[in-house]
């Protein structure tokens, strides 16, 4: 049976059709919003059940170029591997829908979202999640909760919910929330910055767009938003999110298929084993918890299992593994909640020791080895020109775009002690690189340069993405790139038993695995440039979120203090590091800098080994060279021309005689500079009444001679010896 549903939402209308297409899927939804059409399908494999304790869910968001009237660029005229946008959108949908599946659901499940038509104003990431959730809600899987997304922007100081893409491009905020009608599940946020703010002497905290109360000390342009303001944005956005999901569930309930009979995997923990482990091996588990590295901890727990099996031969090792894991998790959480001490002995707010070494790679443009506890990132920066930018196409843009700031994150298996081959980047790696890029992009103005940051994770126990942010900032400074602020990142966690909770700063892998929240926050001492949050316990109150934001600010400020000290010790790779200089000149001097037929600027390029770009309209000069010496020499030469008083142009007439200077000798004559700087050609046949075989036998560069104007050939002056 076919069902059609139309919903009026904030700033947008959505029309759904169920039971009309893809009818053999367990669930499907045809969504139309504006000129955008998206199909989402859900299919489960009922013949197979995965026994491992994880949900075998795969989400694929796929764009077709015909959706925007385009043919794929490049050699192949067929869509090939997913773009970064498709991969990141798939990841967002996965993270939002995965919490909905009931415990014990072990059937391989495929959610496919295909964009068939796209207009230039549609928010495809919001619509993709909404369509996928509608297909899942109305499927024959026993899921009765709707998840949807809301995006918030701030345009000219005003909050806009569900903005168009045009509004988003002019926004200082991009906040993406997903959740149910009761709970907030996921947050993605970035700040574009650029508003004038007043800095207060009161204790207020920043996070997106800057507004701060209190006595004014100074003003500057901020790239972050204050925590208090962000909480206000959360409140309004969450209110719309909850109301929208109520609408979805009310409208979609009549469209649901009859629930199928699905087998769930039994995951029953043997309580006899749990009791035995608690009574006899708590100290062994405590010792294993003290092995902070994942590989070391796994080895210790495996040895404990082997030890127990020797005395309890009738027990299954798989069951025992689950029992030990349960006791270990209880211990980790109880110690935090009851003793306010973590497994490695830290307090709840304590950040692990940090060391920073810059330019450890002598032949790279710049590099930073950032180590925090047992997490280590080697971040390497390479500078290039406009032609080195990454070209990409999106459905909602009219043409090809260029990305001149790239952050690439790599996570090899050896970083966590795993024997796995190094493959291409997976979704997690693309997501972490994108988060680091969003964190750092607001503080750099590359002005035509291209910068690529590559983060090689050498060791990981706790947020390597935040180590990438810190190491990335230090690599920018080690390349002598100007930034508007100092940016650091910190990963926050939480443990809650329902009544009590504890917020953790700088979580390690054990606390991420056994905790209830993974909350990554990046920014300056004044505010936040990007954040990402996944909540595992079904929701979080805004009061707890606010507390986490302020605690994150404390930890971030501590890390920034260490980074700023390390900045003072930077030694640049001067022999390798390209140099760029920007300055302005009076546009009326551009003619003198270029010279006749480009002679002067060519001589500078050859002499100083630089590239020189001049904007003739506003006099902006950009000099790029292999080293600072050449760039500074070229700038000094240009400034020398600009600071030399201009000589009035002379109106030359045929027959006039002037004293000039021989500037350059060539086989066929000599170029002579006339009094106002104009060059003329003294041909070899005009140098003397006698035949001249070699010009250098008669004239020398720098010699003063008297010449006569013989004729004009276009812009060229022909001279004779007077």
Q: Please determine, for residue 227, whether its predicted confidence score (pLDDT) is greater than 80.
A: yes
Q: Please determine, for residue 598, whether its predicted confidence score (pLDDT) is greater than 90.
A: no
Residue 664 CB neighbour total at 10 angstroms:
13
- Cα separations in angstroms, 15 against 8, 127, 147, 255: 9, 11, 17, 13
Q: 372 vs 702, which has greater pLDDT? A: 372
pLDDT, residue 651, reads: 80
Confidence band of 202 (pLDDT split at 50, 70, 90): very low
Can you read off the two tokens belonging to residue 137? 């809600």
Phi, psi of 234 (to 5 degrees): -55, -45
User: What percentage of the chain carries pLDDT values higher than 70?
Assistant: 93
Provide the total of helices (H) and of strands (E) in the chain, helices listed first: 15, 31
pLDDT, residue 291, reads: 65
Instruction: Indicate whether 555 and 618 sit together in one domain.
Output: no
Do 150 and 236 form a contact (C-beta atoms < 8 A)? Answer: no
Residue 715 lies inside a defined structural domain of this protein? yes
Residue 159 lies inside a defined structural domain of this protein? no
Cα 235 versus chain centre, distance: 26
Residue 184 lies inside a defined structural domain of this protein? no
Q: Where is 87: in which H helix or E strand?
A: helix 84-97
d(CA 388, CA 449): 9
Torsional class of 480: left (φ above 0), alpha (ψ -120 to 50), beta (otherwise): left
pLDDT, residue 705, reads: 92
Q: Please determine, for residue 192, whether its predicted confidence score (pLDDT) is greater than 80.
A: no
Most confident of 152-166, 285-299, 703-717: 152-166
Mean pLDDT of the chain: 86
Confidence band of 194 (pLDDT split at 50, 70, 90): very low
d(CA 182, CA 18): 25
Can you read off the two tokens belonging to residue 76? 């192949």
pLDDT, residue 39, reads: 98
Residue appearing with tokens 């983060």: 455
pLDDT, residue 470, reads: 98
Query: Which CATH number is 614's domain given?
Result: 3.30.1370.10
Confidence band of 507 (pLDDT split at 50, 70, 90): very high
Give residues with Cβ within 8 angstroms of 705, minimum separation 6.
Answer: 659, 660, 662, 672, 682, 699, 721
Give residues with Cβ within 8 angstroms of 689, minimum separation 6.
Answer: none
pLDDT, mean of residues 483-502: 91
Most confident of 470-474, 643-647, 650-654, 679-683: 470-474
Instruction: Indicate whether 68 and 139 sit together in one domain.
Output: yes
pLDDT, residue 539, reads: 63
pLDDT, residue 208, reads: 30
Q: 566 vs 326, which has greater pLDDT? A: 566
Q: Please determine, for residue 50, whether its predicted confidence score (pLDDT) is greater than 60.
A: yes
Q: Please determine, for residue 128, whether its predicted confidence score (pLDDT) is greater than 80.
A: yes
Nearest to 16 by CA among 107, 138, 108: 138
Predicted TM-score (pTM) of the model is 0.80
Residue 388 lies inside a defined structural domain of this protein? yes
Instruction: Indicate whether 412 and 302 sit together in one domain.
Output: no
Do 477 and 501 form a contact (C-beta atoms < 8 A)? Answer: no
Most confident of 10-19, 584-593, 667-676: 10-19
Give residues with Cβ within 8 angstroms of 637, minimum separation 6.
Answer: 604, 608
Q: Please determine, for residue 453, whether its predicted confidence score (pLDDT) is greater than 80.
A: yes
Instruction: Indicate whether 546 and 595 sit together in one domain.
Output: no
Residue 70 lies inside a defined structural domain of this protein? yes
DSSP 100: G
pLDDT, residue 207, reads: 30
Residue 663 CB neighbour total at 10 angstroms:
13
Instruction: Indicate whether 407 and 546 sit together in one domain.
Output: yes
Looking at the DSSP assignment, which residues form a beta bridge with residue 384? 450
Query: Which CATH number is 674's domain given?
Result: 2.40.50.140
Query: Which CATH number is 378's domain given?
Result: 3.30.230.70
Q: What is the extent of the structural domain holding 281?
A: 271-339
Residue 34 CB neighbour total at 10 angstroms:
16
Confidence band of 220 (pLDDT split at 50, 70, 90): very low
Domain end position, chosen among 522, 538, 567: 567
Give residues with Cβ within 8 angstroms of 383, minimum separation 6.
Answer: 365, 449, 450, 451, 479, 481, 577, 578, 580
Q: Please determine, for residue 214, whether its predicted confidence score (pLDDT) is greater than 70.
A: no
Give residues with Cβ within 8 angstroms of 64, minimum separation 6.
Answer: 79, 114, 115, 116
**Model pLDDT for residues 95-116, shown as the tens digit of each residue:** 999 989 988 888 999 999 999 9
Q: Please determine, for residue 215, whether its predicted confidence score (pLDDT) is greater than 70.
A: no
pLDDT, residue 675, reads: 84
Q: 590 vs 86, which has greater pLDDT? A: 86
Q: Which has the minimum average pLDDT: 50-59, 80-89, 152-161?
A: 50-59
Confidence band of 204 (pLDDT split at 50, 70, 90): very low
Instruction: Indicate whether 292 and 373 sit together in one domain.
Output: no
Instruction: Indicate whether 428 and 484 sit together in one domain.
Output: yes
pLDDT, mean of residues 540-549: 85
Write a three-state SS string for 300-357.
HHHHHHHHHHHHCCCCCHHHHHHHHHHHHHHHHHHHHHHHCCCCCCCCCCCCCCEEEE
Instruction: Indicate whether 609 and 690 sit together in one domain.
Output: no
**Model pLDDT for residues 239-250, shown as the tens digit of each residue:** 999 999 999 999
Instruction: Indicate whether 335 and 362 sit together in one domain.
Output: no
Instruction: Indicate whether 544 and 682 sit together in one domain.
Output: no
Do 26 and 46 form a contact (C-beta atoms < 8 A)? Answer: no
Residue appearing with tokens 């009035």: 648
Instruction: Indicate whether 280 and 313 sit together in one domain.
Output: yes
Domain end position, chosen among 517, 539, 567: 567
pLDDT, mean of residues 569-588: 86
Q: Please determine, for residue 296, whether its predicted confidence score (pLDDT) is greater than 80.
A: no
Can you read off the two tokens belonging to residue 167? 């509004």
Residue 115 lies inside a defined structural domain of this protein? yes
> What's the domain count of the chain?
5
Give residues with Cβ within 8 angstroms of 215, minimum separation 6.
Answer: 200, 201, 202
pLDDT, residue 198, reads: 36
Q: Which has the minimum average pLDDT: 66-75, 212-221, 334-343?
A: 212-221
DSSP 124: H
pLDDT, mean of residues 687-704: 87
Confidence band of 21 (pLDDT split at 50, 70, 90): very high
d(CA 200, CA 218): 8
Residue 198 lies inside a defined structural domain of this protein? no
pLDDT, residue 585, reads: 87
pLDDT, mean of residues 657-670: 89
Query: Which CATH number is 295's domain given?
Result: 1.10.10
Looking at the DSSP assignment, which residues form a beta bridge with residue 221? 196
∠ CA 610-612-618, nearest 5°, is 155
Domain end position, chosen among 542, 567, 592: 567
Residue 677 lies inside a defined structural domain of this protein? yes
pLDDT, residue 206, reads: 29
Residue appearing with tokens 């995006």: 151
Q: Please determine, for residue 209, whether its predicted confidence score (pLDDT) is greater than 70.
A: no
Instruction: Indicate whether 481 and 400 sit together in one domain.
Output: yes
HSE-CB for 230 with a 13 A CA cutoff: 36
């Amino acid at each position: 049976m076919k069902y059609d549903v139309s919903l009026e939402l904030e700033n947008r209308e959505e029309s759904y059709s169920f039971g009309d297409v893809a009818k053999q899927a367990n669930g499907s939804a045809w969504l139309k919003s504006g000129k955008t059409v998206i199909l989402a399908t859900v299919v489960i494999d009922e013949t197979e059940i995965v026994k491992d304790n994880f949900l075998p869910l795969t989400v694929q968001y796929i764009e077709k170029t015909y959706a925007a009237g385009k043919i794929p660029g490049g050699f192949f005229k067929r869509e090939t591997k997913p773009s970064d946008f498709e991969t990141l959108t798939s990841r967002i949908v996965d993270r939002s829908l995965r919490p909905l599946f009931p415990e014990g659901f072990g059937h391989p499940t495929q959610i496919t979202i295909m964009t068939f038509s796209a207009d230039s104003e549609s928010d495809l990431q919001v619509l993709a999640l909404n369509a996928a959730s509608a297909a899942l809600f109305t499927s024959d899987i026993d899921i009765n909760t709707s998840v949807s997304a809301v995006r918030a922007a701030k345009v000219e100081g005003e909050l806009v919910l569900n903005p168009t893409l045009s509004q988003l491009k002019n926004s200082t905020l991009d906040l993406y929330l997903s959740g149910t009608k009761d709970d907030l599940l996921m947050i993605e946020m970035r700040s574009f910055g650029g508003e004038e703010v007043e800095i207060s002497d009161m204790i207020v905290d920043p996070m997106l767009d800057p507004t701060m109360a209190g006595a004014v000390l100074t003003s500057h342009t901020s790239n972050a938003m204050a925590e208090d303001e962000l909480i206000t944005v959360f409140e309004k956005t969450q209110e719309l999110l909850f109301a929208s999901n109520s609408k979805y569930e009310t409208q979609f309930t009549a469209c649901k298929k009859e629930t199928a009979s699905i087998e769930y995997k039994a995951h029953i923990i043997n309580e006899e084993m749990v009791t035995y482990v608690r009574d006899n091996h708590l100290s062994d588990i405590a010792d294993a918890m003290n092995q902070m590295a994942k590989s070391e901890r796994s080895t210790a727990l495996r040895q404990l299992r082997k030890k127990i099996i020797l005395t309890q031969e009738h027990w299954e090792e798989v069951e025992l593994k689950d029992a030990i894991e349960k006791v270990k998790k209880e211990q980790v959480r109880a110690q935090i909640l009851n003793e306010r001490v973590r497994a490695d002995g830290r307090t709840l707010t304590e950040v692990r020791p940090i060391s920073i070494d810059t330019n450890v790679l002598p032949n790279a443009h710049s590099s930073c080895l950032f180590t925090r506890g047992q997490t280590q990132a080697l971040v390497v920066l390479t500078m290039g020109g406009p032609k080195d930018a990454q070209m990409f196409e999106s459905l909602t843009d009219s043409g090809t775009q260029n990305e001149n700031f790239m952050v690439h994150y790599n996570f090899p298996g050896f970083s966590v002690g795993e024997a796995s081959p190094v493959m291409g980047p997976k979704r997690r790696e693309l997501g972490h690189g994108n988060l680091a890029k969003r964190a750092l992009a607001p503080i750099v103005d590359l002005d035509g340069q291209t910068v690529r940051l590559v983060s090689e994770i050498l060791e990981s126990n706790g947020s390597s993405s935040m180590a990438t942010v810190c190491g990335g900032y230090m690599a920018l400074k080690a390349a002598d790139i100007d930034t508007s602020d100092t940016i650091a990142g910190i990963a926050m966690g939480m443990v809650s038993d329902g009544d009590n909770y504890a917020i953790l700063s700088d979580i390690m892998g054990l606390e991420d695995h056994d905790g209830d929240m993974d909350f990554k926050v990046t920014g300056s001492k004044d505010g936040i440039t990007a954040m990402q949050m996944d909540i595992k316990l079904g929701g979080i109150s805004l009061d707890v979120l606010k507390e986490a934001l302020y605690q994150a600010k404390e930890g971030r400020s501590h890390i920034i203090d260490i980074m700023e000290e390390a900045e003072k010790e930077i030694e640049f790779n001067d022999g390798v590091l390209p140099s760029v200089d920007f300055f302005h000149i009076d546009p009326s001097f551009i003619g003198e800098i270029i010279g006749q037929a480009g002679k002067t600027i060519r001589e500078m390029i050859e002499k100083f080994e630089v590239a020189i770009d001049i904007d003739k309209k506003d006099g902006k000069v950009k000099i790029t060279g292999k080293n600072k010496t050449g760039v500074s020499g070229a700038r000094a030469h240009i400034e020398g021309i600009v600071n030399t008083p201009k000589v009035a142009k002379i109106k030359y007439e045929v027959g006039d005689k002037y004293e000039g200077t021989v500037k350059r000798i060539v086989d066929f004559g000599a170029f002579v500079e006339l009094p106002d700087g104009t060059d003329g050609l003294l041909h070899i046949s005009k140098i003397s009444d006698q035949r001249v075989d070699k010009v250098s036998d008669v004239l020398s560069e720098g010699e003063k001679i008297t010449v006569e104007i013989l004729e004009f050939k276009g812009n060229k002056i022909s001279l004779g010896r007077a």
